Amino acid sequence: MIKRINPYLVLALAIVLPGAGHVAIREAPRGLVFAFFVLFFSVLTYMTTTPDQSFIGRHAGGLFVWALSIPDAYRRARMRYATTNRIAGTSANR
């Protein structure tokens, strides 16, 4: 039986830690890729900005990728949740 995880829990995990939402829905490679690119672009923008920039400005690249990963994890979790509910509903009717 497929374990269903609530999409809102996945959303919370994705907000707290980049890639954690993907790992929770068993898409670990995708989550690790997101986590890698968050770190990579964060370091890249940190190295290319001036020291007088704010923390957000110095890590804008990583924060941008993190912001992209949040709705992606939620959307994938919602689709998986709907699919498992549909499968469970059709098998219960038999």
What are 43-84's pLDDT values in tens digits? 999 999 999 999 999 999 999 999 999 999 999 999 999 887
Residue 10 reports pLDDT greater than 90: yes
| Secondary structure class of 72 (helix, strand, coil) | helix
**CA–CA distance, 74 with 18 (Å, rounded to integer):** 12
- Dump pLDDT digits (tens) for 16-52: 999 999 999 999 999 999 999 999 999 999 999 999 9
Residue 13 reports pLDDT greater than 60: yes
Minimal CA–CA distance to 65: which of 91, 46, 40?
Answer: 40
**CA–CA distance, 4 with 34 (Å, rounded to integer):** 23
- pLDDT for the residue 89: 62
